[in-house]
Structure 1
Amino acid sequence: MAIGLLLTLAPGLAEAQDPGPTEPVRAFPAIPPDIRMPSADEARALADVADRLAGAAREDITPLAREALAIETLTYGPSHPETANTYLWLAMGARSAGDLVAARRFQQRAYEVFDARLGPLHRSTLDAQGPLASDIYMAGDFEAAIDMAQNLADHAAAEGENDIAAKAMGMVAFAAQQIGNRTLELEAAQKVVALALTIQGPETEYVQRWQNHADGLLAADAVDLYNEAGSLASAGRLDEAIDILARSVEAFNRALGPDNRLTRLAREEHGKLVRQAGRLIDVPAAKGRAPPARPRLFDPGEARPR
């Protein structure tokens, strides 16, 4: 699955109980009066399936979940949160089997039930929406993935769930990259940083990675020049590399300012190349030897601004 992309959920079969007037609302509401309570045999069967699902191997998830779904559909109906919880198990089993079409269908059904019965801001709804956005992304429907992930980010942020909101905006950024919408990609990356900074420090790897991604988008031309200079330096074409890297420093400075980490990095590498070129001139035996490769801001196989 993609970028971190991924908000995961470990579903379980929670008991549906009336919390009483003085207790906080639990994850699942009481069974509505128009839906009959399970018989003693059905309750025992559901408890047994739940126990087996909790420790099931991947290949056993789907048949056990279907067994639970049959009981719950008769007991609670197809549109109850307990039943929806089992749709999540079916989605998990389908993903394990590589059937992404079925996974998306089950995840969509669970999300729709949670949204209708518990509301769009309920944690169960948010938890179901993340994997659904990922399923849509993996299917290549990037526009729909953006809509779903953006919706999730808005609802999660409204509930103070900034960790979920940040991951959802990360998915927006990756999907925007897939369709070549650099403006949206930059906006999403900057929102990831802002949300992440509310729950962790600026020096953490997660924040730094997304800050670098946003900076790279702001200075995409400078990044291209920097990487071109690195390739030239690796090929021993130092004079050309020095000129290109000087242009990269100027471009970073214009886009990000002189104190930005990427501007400083480019400036430092330029100085190293200049000194390396001087050493090659001073030491005849070293002439023609390719200097060490300059570090690249983005590896060739890495998702990067286009």
Structure 2
Amino acid sequence: MATIKDVAKLAQVSTATVSRVLNGNGYVHSETKQRVAVAIKELNYRPNDVARNLFKGRSKTIALFVPDIMNPYFPELARAVEDVAQKEEYTFILCNTDDDLEKERKYLEALTQKSLDGLVIVSSTMISEYIKEFNIPVVALDRILYEGVPSVTVNNFEGAQEAVKYLKEIGCKKIAHLAGPQDVRNAEQRRGGYMSEVEQESWFQSSLVERGGYGIEEAMASTTRLLKAHPDIDGLFAANDLMAVGAIKACETLGINIPDQLSIVGFDGIMLGKTTSPSLTTMAQPIYDIGTAAVEMLIQQIRDPDLLIDMKEFQVKLVERGSTIRKEEVT
């Protein structure tokens, strides 16, 4: 297989000149260009895309950092990022960080050594100093990192309000909340939306809010505590769909019928919610559109570092399924 050195030798030029011709960088005399073109054709030379991009200071590679690949929300998000990256001829790398700052930093160090072009990140731990240190385009996804970093989010506060209003509308008289981790901004926004709808209610008590870890196991334990402390709870809003699934599982163990005795609403709209028994009512995010927007914003930044990109917020939508029921329907 011919190399760039073979082309340079046949065309009687330097390898740097061949690189300039291939990449369109710098001035090359038209006659010299012609000699290089003839040599490339004669040798059937195929430029190495990696080498070509590294010559430009780019690798055509982007990464997506997510905190928990076991949460179905993130693989659905990753699919959108990968699809757009592939369409734009970028290589896509998925990194599971466990929201561990040191792990995030190690990934960044390794990837930037390989000329990483940009990063889409879901993180509650990454700080501005580290992002600035690595000096690459970044888009925050699902959560806002800090001012100056473009982000793609949803209306978490208002979506949570809508979920609680819906539970009230269908007749729920005492509504509890499974809250996400305290250090995760979107979890706090969803808790805030819940609180805005219930804190003035005569039945509200702070013990109606239980923390979960955005996962099934912790949510099962939290739901059990809630229902044992407040057996008259008839509505539950969970800060994500996985916790809502955990709540359904806890109710199965406790012998509580969903939705006749307890209506449950989640948040995210992951595919898993369609397969639970009963299927899960949720505040659905446009997950694919969110991932698409994030990587499109990132590629815009890569192509034009001076481009000012701020924030894009999507709206969630109530999807009614079997985990909720209007009280007049209960016989």
TM-score, shorter chain, exceeding 0.5: no
**Structure with higher strand content:** 2
- Normalising by the residue count of structure 1, what TM-score does the alignment of the two structures yield? 0.31
- Normalising by the residue count of structure 2, what TM-score does the alignment of the two structures yield? 0.29
Of structures 1 and 2, the one with the larger relative CO (CA 8 A, separation 6+) is 2
